[in-house]
Structure 1
Amino acid sequence: MRLGLAANRLHHRDHDAALFRWLRTCETGIRELQLGLHVVGRTFDAIQASALLADHAGMRRYPYGRDGGLMKLVAEVVGMPGDERTLDGAIYLIDPVDPSSIFPEAAALKRQCVIQHKPFISTVASARDWIESERIHAGLAPDPGADDLHAHDQQTLALIAHDAMKPTMLDFADAHFEVLSAFAGRVATGTTGQRLNELAWSRGWPAGQAWVQRYQSGPLGGDAQIADLVLQGRCQRAIFFEDPHVARQHEADIQLLERAVTTVTDSAVCMTSPAVAGRWAQAVVRRRRQRPG
């Protein structure tokens, strides 16, 4: 398995930066998974200087971002015909106030991950969570260091879907109802929340008791309301099924929620692909069987 890897300058500028917090936590898992990392130039240089992942055979250096390094990752997420450089997803640790985080290649990297049903990982918490899920799928024993990510009975989950993705969200919630019900609370924007509540009542959830707390619809400010919960530490995980093919009038609100997640990079997990979310839910079930409680 191979992932692209990049981090904005804030996240590798000193010893305690986000990139190094993730690597120190997950270096063992990266090696266990024999994970290939195709790393944009400045990020690669920072890792080399830190001595983390020393002698890891899966590391490959790409050009600096200004020389097309991030653009190359976008092409490789899509896949290059007749080339073995196809990536299985990307980790891009984003500083929400770094101008490069909204460059076209940054937006295209996320968009193509969503289109190709591959993980786009933009926070430290998401990167830790993904490593643990893949370890579980590989048959490895649960890492006690990841227990905080799996304390779902103490966490709130946001379930958000754009219009074209609402049926997919309902199918996902139906297929993984028990996993999602284990969270302390669930929140959603307007119409999605209503449909999820109706699904829950059809599944035997107490009639009249909301399975999800509904906020405003996205265009009326629901994304902004949930972004505020994330910033306050009152929402720890977002499953956000985006439609990458449709221009949205409330794009600024969507970006607000995404920026909130990256602002609290160590505590918020975000998943934007139904395939990735489904694989995570399967890993949750397997991990609970191995590490009850």
Structure 2
Amino acid sequence: MPKRRIGLIANRSHQDDPQSALVQLLTGSQAAITYLNIEFVVVGRTLDAIHKHGLDTLCPAIERFPYGREGGLMKLVSRVVDEDPLRAVDAVIYLIDPVDPSSVFPEAVALKRQCVIHQKPFLATLASAQEWLELQACLLGKTSNPALDARFQLEREGIALIAHDALKPAMLTLAEKHFAVLDRFACRYATGTTGGLLNQTASRLKATELPAWVHPYRSGPLGGDAQLAELVLERKIRRILFLEDPHVARQHEADIQLLERAARTVTDFALVISEVSEADRYLQALSLRSASA
């Protein structure tokens, strides 16, 4: 199997403790990492932490980047957009501490934006990294990890479906294509207009009036993102499909960041997917994996 190159960085609070998110990721996902033949591109201090915890054998293929203060994160942004397959990264795992100021530095913001533009997964929580590795391995035929079964019992789970204006048609297309798996969730939530459109789609697909297939909250600019953030913090929403348009200025940027920050606050529980093609692949893999949970 060809190597997959994954950028890896963790904020300090996710590195140092023996039970940190970085340690949990590498130990808990060891089988998937090996199966997927992953080569990590690791930024400075994160690699120091891997050595400190004796985890070198769990990720033997490593390219070291400089410390963040020496431009390591900037170099990682460049590798996201690199056209050379031997240099480019296929995805980025950035375990973000929501109170670490470095996570809002320009290079950190650019890293996520370029991942969205170039259709590469940006995995900012422990839960998102664990789940992505599990789903990729399952798609390629690996036996599922029974330790993760509980999170794939969708009948007990909530999901948020949000899309910026230019991407609302894409969200409706995804909902129709993957209606069967989305319909299995115990609860579906959305902000304003997107929720109304999804309810119309569901009613058409089921040939019956279903006004509450999605529970619609306020629109994003009027506080809907904040309402959903509360549900994330209460662990009622694990998965957030937030289709972002990275090419337009957004007056309610703070609200968007609030929802992502909520997911990062419960890093072991919640995840955000921000790009259309990745959301498509994700829902396909989720359907497959949840069938065995």
Bin for the TM-score computed over the shorter chain:
over 0.9
Q: Distance in 1 between matches of 2:80 and 2:139?
A: 22
Structure 1: tracts of 5 or more residues without a match? none
- Aligned match of 1:225: 227
- 2:148 counterpart of 1:146: yes
Q: Is the CA contact (8 Å cut-off) linking 1:92 and 1:120 kept in structure 2? A: yes
Question: For the Cα contact (< 8 Å) 2:159–2:185, is it kept in 1?
Answer: yes
From 53, 64, 76, the equivalent of 1:61 is: 64
Alignment equivalent of 2:23, drawn from 2, 8, 20: 20
Q: Which residue of 1 aligns with 2:75?
A: 72
Q: Residues of 2 paired with 1:234 and 1:154: CA distance?
A: 9
Q: What's the counterpart of residue 253 of structure 2?
A: 251
SS at match of 2:221: helix
User: Structure 1 counterpart of 2:25, which letter?
Assistant: W
Change (3 A) 1:55 1:126: closer
User: 1:169-225, CA deviations, whole angstroms, 9 ceiling, x for partnerless residues?
Assistant: 111111100011111000000000000000000001641441100000000000010
Distance across 1 between alignment mates of 2:156 and 2:221: 29
- Report the Cα distance in structure 2 between the residues aligned to 1:68 and 1:206, rounded to whole angstroms: 56
Aligned to 2:240, which of 220, 232, 238? 238
Does 2:164 correspond to 1:162? Answer: yes
Cα RMSD over matched residues? 1.4
**Which residue does 1:272 correspond to in 2?**
274
Question: In the TM superposition, what is the alpha-carbon distance from 1:57 to its structure 2 partner?
Answer: 3.4
Q: Tell me how far apart the structure 2 counterparts of residues 282 and 143 of structure 1 sit (CA, whole Å).
A: 18
User: Structure 2-normalised TM-score?
Assistant: 0.96
After TM superposition, the structure 1 stretch with the greater mean CA deviation from structure 2, 125-134 or 48-57, is: 48-57
Alignment equivalent of 1:126, drawn from 114, 128, 141: 128
Unaligned runs of 5+ in 2: none
Structure-1-length-normalised TM-score: 0.96
| Larger displacement relative to structure 2 (241-250 or 143-152) | 143-152
**1:29 corresponds to:** 32
> Structure 1: how far apart are the matches of 2:82 and 2:286?
29
Q: Give matches, 1:76-115, under 5 Å.
A: 76-80=79-83, 82=84, 84-115=86-117
Matched letter for residue 112 of structure 1: Q
Letter in 2 for 1:264: V
2:44 maps to 1:41: yes
Tell me the matched-pair count.
Answer: 290
Query: For 1:226, what is the secondary structure of its paired residue?
Result: helix
Q: What's the offset of the Cα at 1:112?
A: 0.4
For residues 93-149 of structure 1, give each alpha carbon's deviation from its aligned partner in whole angstroms, at most 9, with x where no partner exists.
000110100000000000000001110000000011001111111111111122122
- Choose 101-110 or 266-275, whichever is displaced more: 266-275
Cα distance change on mapping 1:52 and 1:206 into 2, 3 Å = farther
SS, match of residue 159 in structure 1: strand
Is this contact kept in 2: 1:74–1:105, CA < 8 A? yes
Given the superposition, is the C-alpha separation of residues 249 and 56 from structure 1 closer, same or farther in structure 2, using an over 3 Å criterion? closer
